[in-house]
């Protein structure tokens, strides 16, 4: 039987510094009371580590602290141009500090080293590692985190020149820069600089990107050395990876099933639709098309690797009871059409027909399914399929 008592005291606060800087200090204190501890020793006769239970009431304490500073800076630039009225820039800088001492240090009295073999090799262990609430963590932890988030918008004149009306265009919903400095290590303290952003210059088109910059130099063998890149030239470092994706969704519909509950739909049917929204065929949408393009660049050392993918998918309502879906793309590495599939759907009132067809490629196959719509009778169905093994 394992038993003990644990106390936890979280302390946090928030206040303003110089009116504009938000300061958020925090501290967490944990104390455990145990009524015994396990001491280990090496037995020279049996060549085995012995464990002895030593009774007595003892306390195991640990704590950590943190401090965060953040503010918001607004900038506005007006243009004399008739097409562009102004540019608005919002900067959200923040810096945070966290610290936790090394509770495996002998001054705390929670850890000890014991031989583990005849060669005299030592292993550190905690007296209270088998306690019901665990033990105090080992290893010093100290970190400074820098974060800079940006939001950039512009106001431009609308196409109707007769009326001086302007509309807002968001250049970057988010443009974020982040890095960390580890105080607990003796080398390579600075982590990679990470950059990520999100923009929507064209309606329904999302462009997201992220990258990583290594601030350290490489030697001739490609190993990282503890010397910053800006010591030799004006540079933040080496771009080790970068990727961006473009998603463009076009839809001709007033309201989709995800926005409005259909008429004459029971609560059970509505819950089923929401739980299996991907399997529901929405006839409220006459057509929809989705385009996706992704670009991935990586250069961990000297050689770079670039991968590109393009995919297109969509659905078209042929009649009130027929609908067809498609999925395809292009493989830039092999210069050929990638995985392609066609999906046919027929509404048979209480029944439904689904036909999935992969016309060519390694996964060439088809699957025909006729089943009852009701989830209560979901096992009442007829399937006819031909896998890619049958096409060999």
Distance separating alpha carbons of residues 155 and 157, to the nearest angstrom? 7
> Cβ of 15: how many Cβ atoms within 10 Å?
9
At residue 284, the pLDDT reads: 66
DSSP per-residue string spanning 239-306: EEEEEEEEEEEEEE-S--TTTSPPTT--HHHHHHHHHTGGG---TT-SEEEEEEEEEEEE-SSS--EE
**Rg of the chain over all Cα atoms, to the nearest angstrom:** 31
Q: Would you put residue 109 in left (φ > 0), alpha (ψ -120 to 50) or beta?
A: left
Q: 234 pairs with which residues across the strands?
A: none
Residue ranges per structural domain of the chain? 1-89+98-148
Distance separating alpha carbons of residues 371 and 381, to the nearest angstrom? 4
Under 8 Å between Cβ of 203 and 214: no
At residue 251, the pLDDT reads: 74
pLDDT, tens digit only, all 392 positions of the chain: 788 999 999 999 999 999 899 999 999 999 999 999 999 988 888 888 888 999 999 999 999 999 999 999 999 998 887 788 889 999 999 999 999 999 999 999 999 998 888 787 888 999 999 999 999 999 999 999 999 999 999 888 776 655 667 788 888 889 999 999 999 888 999 999 999 999 887 778 889 999 999 999 888 888 889 888 888 777 888 999 999 999 988 876 545 544 555 555 566 655 655 555 555 556 566 788 889 999 999 998 888 999 998 999 888 888 888 888 888 898 888 888 888 888 888 887 788 888 888 887 777 888 888 877 766 666 677 777 776 565 55
pTM: 0.70
Distance separating alpha carbons of residues 324 and 221, to the nearest angstrom? 55
Distance separating alpha carbons of residues 353 and 367, to the nearest angstrom? 11
Distance separating alpha carbons of residues 315 and 334, to the nearest angstrom? 27
> Cβ of 52: how many Cβ atoms within 10 Å?
9
Q: CA distances (Å), 231 to each of 55, 181, 227, 234, 252, in order?
A: 58, 18, 7, 8, 56
At residue 376, the pLDDT reads: 65
- For tokens 């609560």, name the residue: 267
At residue 97, the pLDDT reads: 96
Distance separating alpha carbons of residues 369 and 385, to the nearest angstrom? 8
Distance separating alpha carbons of residues 281 and 145, to the nearest angstrom? 47
Distance separating alpha carbons of residues 309 and 313, to the nearest angstrom? 13
> Cβ of 213: how many Cβ atoms within 10 Å?
19
CA within 13 Å, CB half, 113: 9
At residue 377, the pLDDT reads: 66
Strands 341-348, 216-218: pairing kind:
unpaired
Q: What are phi and psi of 10, to 5 degrees?
A: -90, 135
In 271-321, beta strands by DSSP E: 287-298, 305-317
> Cβ of 215: how many Cβ atoms within 10 Å?
19
At residue 159, the pLDDT reads: 66
At residue 42, the pLDDT reads: 87
At residue 90, the pLDDT reads: 94
């Amino acid at each position: 039987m394992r038993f003990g008592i644990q106390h936890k005291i979280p302390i946090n606060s928030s206040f303003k510094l110089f009116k504009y800087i938000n300061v958020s200090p925090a501290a967490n204190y944990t104390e455990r009371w145990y009524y015994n501890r396990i001491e280990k020793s090496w037995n020279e006769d049996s060549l085995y580590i012995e464990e002895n239970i030593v009774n007595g009431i003892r306390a195991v304490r640990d704590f950590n602290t943190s401090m965060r500073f953040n503010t918001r800076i607004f900038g506005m630039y007006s243009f004399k141009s008739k097409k562009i009225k102004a540019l608005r820039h919002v900067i959200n800088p923040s810096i945070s500090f966290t610290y936790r001492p090394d509770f495996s240090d002998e001054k705390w009295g929670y850890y000890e080293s014991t031989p583990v073999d005849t060669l005299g090799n030592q292993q550190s262990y905690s007296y209270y590692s088998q306690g019901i609430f665990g033990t105090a963590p080992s290893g010093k932890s100290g970190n400074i985190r820098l974060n800079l988030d940006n939001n950039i918008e512009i106001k431009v004149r609308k196409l109707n020149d007769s009326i001086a009306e302007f509309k807002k265009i968001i250049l970057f919903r988010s443009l974020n820069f982040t890095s960390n400095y580890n105080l607990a290590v003796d080398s390579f303290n600075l982590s990679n600089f990470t950059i990520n952003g999100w923009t929507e210059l064209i309606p329904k088109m999302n462009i997201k990107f992220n990258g990583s910059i290594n601030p350290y130099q490489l030697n001739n063998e490609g190993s990282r050395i503890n010397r910053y890149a800006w010591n030799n030239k004006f540079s933040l470092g080496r771009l080790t990876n970068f990727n961006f994706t473009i998603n463009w969704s076009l839809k001709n519909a007033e309201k989709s099933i995800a926005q409005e509950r259909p008429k004459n739909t029971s609560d059970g049917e509505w819950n089923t639709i929401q739980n299996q929204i991907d399997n529901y065929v929405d006839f409220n949408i006459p057509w929809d098309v989705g385009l996706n393009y992704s670009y991935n660049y990586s250069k961990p050392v000297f050689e770079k690797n670039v991968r590109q993918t393009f995919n297109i998918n969509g659905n078209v309502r042929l009649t009130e009871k027929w609908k067809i879906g498609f999925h395809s793309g292009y493989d830039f590495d092999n210069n050929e059409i990638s995985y392609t599939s066609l999906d046919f759907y027929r509404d048979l009132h209480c029944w439904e027909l689904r036909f999935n067809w992969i016309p060519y490629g390694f996964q060439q196959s088809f699957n025909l399914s006729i089943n009852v719509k009701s989830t209560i009778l979901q096992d009442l169905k007829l399937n006819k399929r031909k896998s890619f093994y049958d096409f060999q």
